[in-house]
Amino acid sequence: MEITLCIESSALPYGVVLATTDGICYDSTLHEELAEIKDVAQLTRIALDASGLPASAIRRIIVNQGPGGTSSIRTGVAFANSLGYSLKVPVFPVNAFELMGFAAEMQWNCPAIVTVKSIKQQAYIGWFAAGRLRATHYGLPEAIIPDLIGDLPTLAVAGAHRESIKRLFPKKEIHDTNMKFGRASDMPRMEAIWSTRATMYPSFVIPLTEQSSLFENPQP
């Protein structure tokens, strides 16, 4: 059996999902007793054992590369990189904007603003529409989001600033996903986004931060 391991470690509960071509066979977030475990390796071992699978059954790894809680994202990425290296299987990064934007668009069938908290009131901001990430910014949400949204009458919001975005635009139709963080269980069906990003050593995944090139040249 060929297994896809999906890792989302930006916040508790960490999500570890095992999936086959038939669908998800294990999702750690459905197990309340695992909600406080801050150990991706332990969750992966639990998932494999519960599914009766060896680690060698893993054929690919999908991991959230952030942005997000810096140490927790690094935890998932470091584990994914070294497991991919040791098993000689590809690691596919998806970012937090894609992870939440994809779920928002699936839920509400409209473009989505996704935000992730940073320091000093700053935020990572992503604009997801028609199946892919269209723009990314780093800065103050109230300064950036009005230009991103423009005259668009309807949108969805996901991430850390959902309430403040709704307050900022009282006349727009804004759908709240109630998602603060991404879900590992969405990763398998995001193949159109991650499938071209196979990363094999000597390449490996680097967590996204405010210094990443994604935030160097804001797209229009």
In terms of CB distance, is 96 or 174 closer to another protein?
Answer: 96
List the one residue from 6, 18, 47, 77 that touches another protein (CB under 8 A).
77
Contact track, another protein, 154-193, x by CB under 8 A: ----------------------------------------
Q: How far is the CB of 71 from another protein (least distance, A)?
A: 5
Binding-site residue total for another protein (CB under 8 A)?
Answer: 28
* CA–centroid distance for 152 within its chain: 25
CA proximity to 192, closest of 109, 127, 102:
102
Q: How far is the CB of 97 from another protein (least distance, A)?
A: 20
Q: How far is the CB of 212 from another protein (least distance, A)?
A: 10
Query: Helix, strand or coil for residue 173?
Result: strand
Q: Is 83 in the site for another protein (CB under 8 A)?
A: yes
Distance between CA atoms of residues 37 and 98, nearest Å: 25
Q: How far is the CB of 144 from another protein (least distance, A)?
A: 23
List the one residue from 25, 53, 85, 166 that touches another protein (CB under 8 A).
85
| Strands in the chain per DSSP E | 3-8, 15-20, 23-27, 58-64, 91-94, 112-117, 123-129, 132-139, 154-159, 173-176
Q: Which amino acid is at 154?
A: T
